[in-house]
Amino acid sequence: MNPKVVAVAGATGVVGQQMLKVLEDRDYPIKSLKLLASARSKGKTIQFKGEDVVVEELTENSFKGVDVALFSAGGGTSKKFAPFAAKDGCVVVDNSSAWRMDPDVPLVVPEVNPDAVKKHKGIIANPNCSTIQMVVVLKPLHDAATIKRVVVATYQAVSGGGINAINEMYEQIDAMLAGKEPQCKEFPYPIAFNVLPQIPGSNAYTDNGYTSEEMKMVNETKKILGDDSVRVTATTVRVPVHTGHSESVNVETEKKLTADQARDILSKAPGVVVQDDPANQIFPHALDAHGKYDTFVGRIREDVSHPSALDMWVVSDNLLKGAALNTIQIAELL
> Which one is catalytic: 90, 120, 142, 245?
245
Torsion of CA 16, 21, 25, 31, to 10 degrees: 60
Rounded Cα–Cα distance for residues 262 and 247 (Å): 17
CA 38 from centroid of its chain's CA atoms:
23
Q: What DSSP element (H or E) covers 265?
A: helix 259-267
> 204 with 213: CB under 8 angstroms?
yes
CA 63 from centroid of its chain's CA atoms:
25
Cis peptide before 83 (omega within 30 of 0): no
Backbone angles phi, psi at 32, to 5 degrees: -155, 155
> 292 with 314: CB under 8 angstroms?
no
> Which one is catalytic: 129, 142, 285, 306?
129
Q: E-assigned strands of 171-294? A: 231-235, 245-253, 272-274
Rounded Cα–Cα distance for residues 121 and 299 (Å): 41
> 73 with 97: CB under 8 angstroms?
no
Any catalytic annotation for residue 90?
A: no
Rounded Cα–Cα distance for residues 240 and 186 (Å): 13
Q: E-assigned strands of 127-254? A: 147-155, 231-235, 245-253
Any catalytic annotation for residue 242?
A: no
Catalytic residues: 129, 245
